[in-house]
């Protein structure tokens, strides 16, 4: 078997056999197939695709088993994770994971870092002093068993083929391939040893998928692919035209997450946390819930009201080496060196707040990465003071910016002023959840 022949076969529209796909994944993992040939194969897939009934399940299975697949069968109950395709102000994992865990469903969560205009769960968690996102697998399993939840980053043992192929996709303009996106996401998530996955597929200006049709295709592909390999999956398509909540950054999003767990905080963040939580409780056969979404929601709302979800988050922080006192004393979170209020230059209605441009403003402030190797300032970010549809008067504050230097504040302000469009009429508001796919 030669990589050359398989590249040519796929280039010409042929369908690869399972062992041929496994050969390519083995070559990516052990280095026996060079980056040039792997890149050529990825480009062939970009144009020719992978058959969703035969090739894609085999490709995913090979990627999944290119490294360690965790065995959580010794932990009672179903294990359920959630994945977001990435957005701006998307801190949902932070309140969601402990909330679902305290309601009786185990949540083993392997998360990623931010890149470009989208934020990353690991960067937010690392803004909590001492919080360790790189833990030994044995400790990860222990916390899932004892606390019902653990949040870590991808280890070297999990889906190593994906790390190689993702880097090549990033360098060769083949990222936007639905089968490659789906298999990349699922190879990491299913390696956690989960029984089911809930997807939050973002749609709109601040999302990777700009159109509803593209988001629907990706969601449908991942749901069907999970089913093909014996895992449960549902997906919510959610609006990402404007940022979620008021906070965009790292420490500021941790504080907003704590607010949600106090049964407070922005309505959209709370609602999406509950909607995804309902899906996770149903997928996990949560005690006392059955298949009733109303019972699931009431159970989640009770855990927010009685403080048990907040206490579980504090236990999680402490167990992963973090300073749990920051829950009661937010000043223990990283604080910015400089703050600046951005004022409206005219009166009217905030008709648009472009999520992608707001995310890029956060990157300019130091809260995100333009390149993978960039360092993140955990204290940098912004707090929105106006939301789409709000009335605005000239001179009113649109947002408060946080950064380490005046130069970064200048760049962030310039981006934000372009993102915020003030008109005379409120724009039509899309619903938060656009569709459910199961």
Backbone angles phi, psi at 156, to 5 degrees: -70, -20
- Residue 174 and residue 283 in one domain: yes
Q: In this structure, what token pair is assigned to residue 218?
A: 């990706």
End-to-end distance of the chain based on CA atoms, in angstroms? 38
Name the one residue in this structure whose structure tokens are 């996106």: 181
How far, in Å, CA of 285 to CA of 17, rounded?
Answer: 37
- Residue 303 and residue 381 in one domain: no
Residue 112 domain-assigned?
Answer: yes
Residue 110 belongs to domain with CATH number: 3.40.1030.10
CB 243 within 8 A of CB 253: no
- Residue 242 and residue 349 in one domain: no
- Residue 382 and residue 276 in one domain: no
Catalytic residues: 83, 162, 169, 184, 188
| DSSP string for residues in 218-272 | HHHHHHHHHHHTT-EEEEEEEE-SS-SSSEEESHHHHHHHHHHHTT-S-HHHHHH
Q: What is the pLDDT of residue 171?
A: 83
| β-pair partners for 235 | 199, 437
Residue 71 domain-assigned?
Answer: no
Backbone angles phi, psi at 361, to 5 degrees: -65, -40
CB crowding 368-386: b at 16 or more within 10 Å, else e: bbeeeeeebbbbbbbbbbb
Q: What is the pLDDT of residue 117?
A: 83
Instruction: Count CB-CB contacts under 10 A for residue 36.
Output: 10
Q: What is the pLDDT of residue 75?
A: 95
Q: In this structure, what token pair is assigned to residue 284?
A: 């996990």
Domain ranges, residue 30: 3-49
Residue 434 domain-assigned?
Answer: no
Residue 380 belongs to domain with CATH number: 3.90.1170.30
Residues 6+ apart with CB under 8 A from 64: 159, 186, 187, 190, 191, 229
- Residue 148 and residue 262 in one domain: yes
CB 133 within 8 A of CB 152: yes
Stretches in the chain below the pLDDT threshold 50: none
Residue 260 domain-assigned?
Answer: yes
Helix or strand run (H / E) with residue 198:
strand 196-203
- Residue 383 and residue 301 in one domain: no
Q: What is the pLDDT of residue 338?
A: 98
Residue 436 domain-assigned?
Answer: no
Q: What is the pLDDT of residue 91?
A: 96
Global confidence as pTM: 0.93
- Residue 113 and residue 161 in one domain: yes
* Percent of the chain that is helix, strand, coil (3-state, to 5): 45, 15, 40
Q: In this structure, what token pair is assigned to residue 112?
A: 């990623």
How far, in Å, CA of 257 to CA of 99, rounded?
Answer: 11
CB 149 within 8 A of CB 261: no
- Residue 95 and residue 194 in one domain: yes
Q: What is the pLDDT of residue 405?
A: 97
Residue 30 belongs to domain with CATH number: 1.20.970.10
Q: What is the pLDDT of residue 339?
A: 98
- Residue 267 and residue 184 in one domain: yes
Q: pLDDT digits over 210-246, tens only?
A: 999 999 999 999 999 999 889 999 999 999 999 999 9
Residue 428 domain-assigned?
Answer: no
Q: What is the pLDDT of residue 316?
A: 98
Residue 61 domain-assigned?
Answer: no
- Residue 169 and residue 281 in one domain: yes
CB 368 within 8 A of CB 119: yes
Helix or strand run (H / E) with residue 80:
strand 80-84
Structurally, how many domains does the chain consist of? 3
Q: In this structure, what token pair is assigned to residue 94?
A: 């932070």
Residue 69 domain-assigned?
Answer: no
CB 269 within 8 A of CB 260: yes
- For 181, 208, 238, 356, 377, the CA distances from 205, given in Å and listed in that order, are 19, 8, 12, 6, 25
CB 147 within 8 A of CB 21: no
Which of 293, 327, 361 is where one domain is finished?
A: 327
Q: What is the pLDDT of residue 299?
A: 98
Closest CA to 415 of 399, 427, 393: 399
How far, in Å, CA of 256 to CA of 372, rounded?
Answer: 26
């Amino acid at each position: 078997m030669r990589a050359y022949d398989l590249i040519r076969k796929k280039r010409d529209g042929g369908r690869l056999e399972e062992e041929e796909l496994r050969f390519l994944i083995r070559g990516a993992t052990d280095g026996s197939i060079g980056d040039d040939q792997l890149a050529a194969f990825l480009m062939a897939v970009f144009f020719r695709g992978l058959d969703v009934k035969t090739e894609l399940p085999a490709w995913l299975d090979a990627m999944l088993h290119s490294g360690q697949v965790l065995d959580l069968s010794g932990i009672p109950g179903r294990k359920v994770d959630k994945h977001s395709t990435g957005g701006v102000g998307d801190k949902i994992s932070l309140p969601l994971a402990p909330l679902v865990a305290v309601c009786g469903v185990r949540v083993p969560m392997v998360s990623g870092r931010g890149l470009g205009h989208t934020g990353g769960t690991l960067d937010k968690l690392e803004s909590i002093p001492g919080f360790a996102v790189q833990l030994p697998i044995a400790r990860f399993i222990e916390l899932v068993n004892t606390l019902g939840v653990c949040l870590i980053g991808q280890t070297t043992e999990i889906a190593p083929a994906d790390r190689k192929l993702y880097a090549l996709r990033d360098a060769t303009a083949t990222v936007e391939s639905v089968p490659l996106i789906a298999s990349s996401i699922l190879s990491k998530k299913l390696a956690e040893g989960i029984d089911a996955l809930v997807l939050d597929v973002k749609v709109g200006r601040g999302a990777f998928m700009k159109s509803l049709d593209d988001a629907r295709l990706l969601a449908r592909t991942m749901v069907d692919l999970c089913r093909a390999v014996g895992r449960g999956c549902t997906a919510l398509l959610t609006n990402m035209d404007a940022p979620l909540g008021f906070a965009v950054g790292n420490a500021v999003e941790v504080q907003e997450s704590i607010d949600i767990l106090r049964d407070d905080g922005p309505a959209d963040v709370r609602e999406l946390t509950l909607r995804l939580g309902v899906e996770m409780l149903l997928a996990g056969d949560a005690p006392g819930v059955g298949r009733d979404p109303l019972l699931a929601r009431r159970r989640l709302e009770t855990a927010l009201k009685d403080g048990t979800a907040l206490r579980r988050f504090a236990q999680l922080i402490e167990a992963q080496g973090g300073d749990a006192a920051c829950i009661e004393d937010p000043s223990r979170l990283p604080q910015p060196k400089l703050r600046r209020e951005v004022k409206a230059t005219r009166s009217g209605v905030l008709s648009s707040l472009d999520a992608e441009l707001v995310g890029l403003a956060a990157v300019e402030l130091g809260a995100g990465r333009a390149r993978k190797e960039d360092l993140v300032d955990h204290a940098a970010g912004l707090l929105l003071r106006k939301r789409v549809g709000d009335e605005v008067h000239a001179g009113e504050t649109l947002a408060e910016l946080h950064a380490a230097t005046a130069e970064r504040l200048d760049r962030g302000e310039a981006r934000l002023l372009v993102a915020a469009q003030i008109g005379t009429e409120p724009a039509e508001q899309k619903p938060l959840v656009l569709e459910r796919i199961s």
